[in-house]
Structure 1
């Protein structure tokens, strides 16, 4: 069992993830800006740390003593334009300081990777994102570049449209345009992320997970 430093715990995917992680016997250190959002969750292996991913000291407190980092935060309404990029930089620095080797991060299918084979619709969606939410896409790319330039083991898990439907226990793992569907339950996404705590197959890669 591992101690997981978790960023983005108060989001819908974050809740799915730490609930499953705790059920598997892992210990979770969750950094959240508003601890009251997790006041309905009590567990002896869940440590809620009040702080901000843009504060290096808060990030370091969360990473210290962890075996692995899981980063599920990103752009939301009102976020600074580089929140994911700058937050990831602080996380990597804390990992280097405290000797944590691996990070599993979450992004979307709009983030390109060399093994993608985007179809027409994939290219169209990416083009729309560049026009409609350029800040979100630029920040996702920036956070990926931080990880790619680092000396840590990283996996960036990408997903399509996320739903709150019950988990199926079945999902596909591929690349954009290759063995990829159009939606994914958050429960199945959390299951896959948990497999990446130990799995080395996708280190240095950006798998696309879908139902």
Structure 2
């Protein structure tokens, strides 16, 4: 199985790439700066480009079986980075007959199974005030996925840490069987499990310790 990977140079992306290669997957990865990719493997193909460039995205998706999208906002990112990038990815998926995408977002993105408690509501309020661009883009990117007709999963997480992998975590919803943090390595582990599973298709599981 060959994975088209977007956002593989970020914190969670690096962990995901490492795990995917260790488990024998072929990975075709888009990178704006290939020199940032420290991993060398015959299973890894790097495409130089930008997720906002439809041609670069198309070259990355071509010949793959599933998409894993882990890119997100950094300082100076365009307002609709995630939405527009996801639209490009979905267009390429339709061109090449790729049916499934797993996308990463945060707990501020609401889902119908959530039962947010006061702290969760407070965090969402703070996000709306402090980083409205990120939250609005996350919501719009979810709408783009819902309207695509594709098999999608949006994996959400709380505060991300760089702590060593624990090998155990909870899969719940905001306010339901959930805590306030997750290590990037364990989050990447769950994302990789979704490559071969349809358990959470058209859902937004929340992963935490």
- Both proteins in one fold, TM over 0.5: yes
What does 1:138-157 correspond to in 2, within 5 Å?
138-157=136-155
Q: How does the TM-score come out when normalised to structure 1?
A: 0.98
1:135 alignment counterpart: 133
Task: For residue 16 of structure 1, report the CA deviation from its aligned partner.
Answer: 0.3
Distance in 1, matches of 2:39 and 2:123, equals 37
Equivalent residue, structure 2, for 1:16: 15
Runs (4 or more) in structure 1 with deviation over 6 Å come to: none
Aligned 1:68-83 pairs, distance under 5 A:
68-83=66-81
Report the counterpart of residue 169 of structure 1 in structure 2.
167
1:76 and 1:148 mapped to 2: Cα distance? 25
Cα RMSD for the two superposed structures: 0.5
Q: Which residue of 2 aligns with 1:4?
A: 3
Cα separation, 1, equivalents of 2:3 and 2:101: 10
Structure 2: stretches of 5+ with no match in the other structure = none
Per the TM alignment, residue 127 of structure 1 is displaced from its structure 2 partner at its CA by 0.4
Deviation at 1:12, TM superposition (A): 1.1
Aligned residue number for residue 103 of structure 1? 101
Q: How many pairs were matched up? A: 209
Runs of at least 5 residues in structure 1 that lack an aligned partner in the other structure? none
Give runs of aligned pairs for residues 9-88 of structure 1, distance below 5 A: 9-38=8-37, 40-88=38-86
Question: How far apart in 2 are the matches of 1:16 and 1:178?
Answer: 26
Q: Distance in 1 between matches of 2:199 and 2:14?
A: 25
In structure 2, how many angstroms separate the alpha carbons of the residues matched to 1:46 and 1:178? 37
